[in-house]
Amino acid sequence: MKYLRQFGIILAVTCAGEVMKYFIPLPIPGSIYGLILMFVLLLTKVIKVDHVKETGEFLIEIMPLMFIPAGVGLITSWSQLQSFLVPLLVITVVSTFVVMIVTGKVTDFLISKKEG
């Protein structure tokens, strides 16, 4: 029953994010609103980490399974993707390195600020 309650909390926050998408006219997916909402609720301790920890860990463990439909979609669309494969690969590689660099810099900044 505990896991069902934890999953219900996560699902409710996700649904609230989807609802927020319709009221806030920005080009941001509802799932991102849900993540931000969950972050704020955890930060303000409205929702305690213990209330969602086990189910959150389980969802992270099965996350690779969620990428299978996207991979199958890419395979079925291969003929359409071939025409712009090189630009797509360049964008993917460059954006990956940018994210890695920015993440490293932000982490260094936060660690130095904490040690401070």
Range of the domain at 104: 86-116
Per-residue model confidence as pLDDT tens for the chain (116 residues):
899 999 999 999 999 999 999 999 899 999 999 999 999 999 999 999 999 999 999 999 999 999 999 999 989 988 888 888 899 899 999 999 999 999 999 999 999 988 87
Same domain, 57 and 96: no
Rounded to whole angstroms, the Cα distance separating 112 from 110 reads 6
Task: Give 79-83's long-range contacts (Cβ < 8 A, gap of 24+).
Answer: none
Report yes or no: 16 and 36 within 8 Å, Cβ to Cβ.
Answer: no
Q: Is 21 part of any domain?
A: yes
Q: Is 111 part of any domain?
A: yes
What global pTM score does this model have?
A: 0.68
**DSSP labels, 38-79:** HHHHHHTTSS-GGGTHHHHHHHHHTHHHHTHHHHHHHHHTHH
Q: Is 81 part of any domain?
A: no
Q: Count of domains in the chain?
A: 2
Same domain, 60 and 90: no
